Structure formats: C-alpha cells, structure tokens
C-alpha cells in the first residue's frame, strides 16, 4: 500500500510538473509579411489573401505571432483590419502597433496571442521627415542619417499564460521593425528606445521580443544584447528574451523560406521559463 501511494505521489508530481512546464513553454513566431503583397505583387492584385500565410502558421501552431510590414484597414485593402482578420482564423487575440497612417488605414506591426491580452501599449520612435509634418517615409538628407527612412514604432502586449486551471502568469511580448536605411546608429537608437519603452532592462514580467530589426550586426543591437539573451536570428529577423537567464530555448530555432509570400523567411523558436 505504502509503495502504491508513493508511486502515485511521484507520478502526480511528475505529471503536475510536466503540466506546469508545458504551460510556461511558448512558441514565438515572427514574420515580415510584406503587407501580404507577395514578392511578385500578385497579392496586391488579388485582394491581399492570407490563406497561404495561415497554412504556414497553422503548421507551426505558435502561441505568439509578431508581424512586421503590416498594413491594415487601408483603401487598397478594402479597409479590412488585417490583424483581426488573421486573428479570427487562428482563434487568437490581436494588438495592432501603428507606425503611421497610410491611405485611409495604417502601417505598422501586429502581435497575436493565443492567450488574453491584459495590457497593450505602443509608441512611435522619434522621427522627423525632410518634407515636414504628415510625411512618414522615404526620408532624405539631412534627416535620413539622423532618423532613418520611415517612421517606426515599438509595441507590446502582456498576456495571461495559464499555469493551472485557475491561475495564469503574465508574459510580455514586444514587437518592432527597425528602420532599413541610414547608419547603424539609427538601429541602435531604435534598440535603446525599445529597451526604454518596454522596460527591457528591468521588465515587470518575463519578456520576449521579436521582429525584423534590419541588421545582422549584434553590436548594433547592443542595447538589447546587454540586457537580454539572443534566442534566435535569421538574416535580420531576431528573437530575444529578457531578463538575462530567465528563459531557455527548447531545441533549435527554425527559419523557413516564405517563397513568393515574402522576402523574409518566417522564424520561430520554443522557449521555456526556467524554474525559480
């Protein structure tokens, strides 16, 4: 009897631990989707369909998705809110990070989550366009070298990740798309401002950040490297975790070519919160 009870207790402990571990294991997926235009622009002429993109995502079944180059609700998209459209098909919550208004809608980034969003916030990076107010892209000198080409932004959501039937832990997810032109100092500034806005140097919750940071140079991203762990990178698309030592990657990160869907591969990694 004693042996039986001992065995049951050990089993229960193992099962409970396995549940807790899997509940705090998250797969994060990042994709610069070229505003669903496709490389050959056929997306633009066929109503910006998302079906093929959804199939790629559903094959991975991520908990969190960060999207870059995400135009939404614009005239050419028939004013359709694309973050909600994708979220509807995946059964996820969404938050749209607006970089600037564009053609009746907006341009920016998006975060989708399987888990409820309890907080959401975003901010535009500092930026001045040589054409003045109301201009948000294709910057020229002397402002290009100082602010980059386009108005960029960073945003986050805090999500409730269940750890049991009645309790959740909060995880922060940050997304940004750094600028693609000008000197590397622009991207370093974007990294600095991301750290400041999302409190990455002392995050209130375990944090993951993903996005097209438009550099492969980790020294450019020193503000992120200094306070977080580099989970995975493919070309200019990155995943970071914060604070240092809080998370560990489960297995390898993955990059998959998008083919015609985008000039960026989509990347994903599974991470787990380390036990206290």
Partner 1 sequence: MKHATKLTLLLTAAFCLAACGGKDNGSSGGGGGTGKTTVKAAGDIVLVSKLDGNPLISTQADATALATFGKGKTIILDRVDSGQMGMMNTATCTNGWWLVHNPGKQVSSTAFQGSVITLNAPYRDAHSLPSGGTWFTYFVDPVKGKVTTYDESGNVVKEKDTEYQANVYTGRLDASAQVDAFGTTYSNIVKEKSNAIVVGTVKNDLYDALAAKVTAAGGKTYKGTVGSAFTIFVAAPTRYWTFNEVKEAAISGISAKAYSVNVTWK
Beta bridge partners of residue 109, listed in sequence order: 97
Cβ proximity to partner 1: between 16 and 183 the closer is 16
Strand 93-102 relative to strand 105-113: parallel, antiparallel, unpaired? Answer: antiparallel
Structure tokens at 89: 């098909």
Cβ proximity to partner 1: between 96 and 266 the closer is 96
Distance CA 275, CA 140 (A): 49
Cβ proximity to partner 1: between 106 and 232 the closer is 106
Distances (CA, A) of 10 to 16, 195, 276: 10, 43, 21
Give the nearest distance from C-beta 271 to partner 1 in angstroms.
Answer: 19
Is-contact 120 174, C-beta < 8 A?
no
Cβ proximity to partner 1: between 167 and 276 the closer is 167
Distance CA 241, CA 253 (A): 13
Cβ proximity to partner 1: between 94 and 215 the closer is 94
Give the nearest distance from C-beta 234 to partner 1 in angstroms.
Answer: 28
Applying CB under 8 A, the residues found at the interface with partner 1 are 23, 73, 79-82, 84-85, 87-89, 91-94, 96-98, 106, 108, 116-123, 160, 162, 164-168
Give the nearest distance from C-beta 118 to partner 1 in angstroms.
Answer: 5
Give the nearest distance from C-beta 29 to partner 1 in angstroms.
Answer: 18
Is-contact 115 160, C-beta < 8 A?
yes
Give the nearest distance from C-beta 238 to partner 1 in angstroms.
Answer: 24
Distance CA 114, CA 147 (A): 35
Cβ proximity to partner 1: between 141 and 167 the closer is 167
Give the nearest distance from C-beta 185 to partner 1 in angstroms.
Answer: 26
Residue ranges of alpha helices (H) inside 75-206 are: 82-90, 144-147, 184-198
Structure tokens at 276: 């206290």
């Amino acid at each position: 009897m004693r042996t039986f009870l001992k065995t049951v207790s050990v089993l229960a402990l193992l099962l409970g631990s396995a549940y807790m571990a899997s509940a705090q294991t998250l797969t994060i997926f990042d994709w610069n989707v070229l505003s669903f235009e496709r490389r050959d622009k056929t997306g633009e002429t066929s109503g910006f369909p998302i079906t093929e993109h959804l199939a790629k995502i559903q094959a991975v079944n991520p908990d969190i998705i960060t999207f870059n180059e995400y135009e939404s609700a614009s005239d050419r998209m028939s004013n359709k809110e694309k973050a909600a459209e994708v979220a509807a098909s995946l059964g996820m919550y969404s938050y749209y990070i607006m970089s600037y208004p564009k053609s009746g809608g907006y341009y920016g980034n998006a975060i989708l989550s399987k888990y409820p969003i309890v907080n959401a916030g975003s901010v535009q990076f500092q930026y001045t366009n040589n054409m003045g107010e109301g201009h948000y892209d294709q910057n020229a000198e002397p402002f290009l070298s100082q602010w980059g080409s386009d108005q960029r932004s960073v945003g986050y959501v805090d999500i409730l990740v269940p750890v049991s039937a009645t309790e959740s832990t909060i995880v922060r997810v940050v997304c940004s798309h750094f600028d693609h032109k000008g000197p590397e100092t622009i991207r370093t500034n974007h990294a600095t401002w991301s750290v400041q806005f999302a409190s990455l140097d002392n995050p209130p919750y375990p944090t993951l950040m993903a996005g097209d940071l438009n550099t492969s140079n980790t020294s450019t991203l020193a503000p992120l490297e200094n306070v977080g762990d580099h989970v995975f990178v493919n070309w200019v698309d990155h995943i970071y975790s914060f604070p240092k030592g809080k998370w560990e990657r489960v297995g390898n990160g993955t990059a998959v070519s998008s083919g015609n869907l985008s000039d960026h591969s989509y990347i994903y990694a599974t991470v787990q919160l380390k036990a206290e």
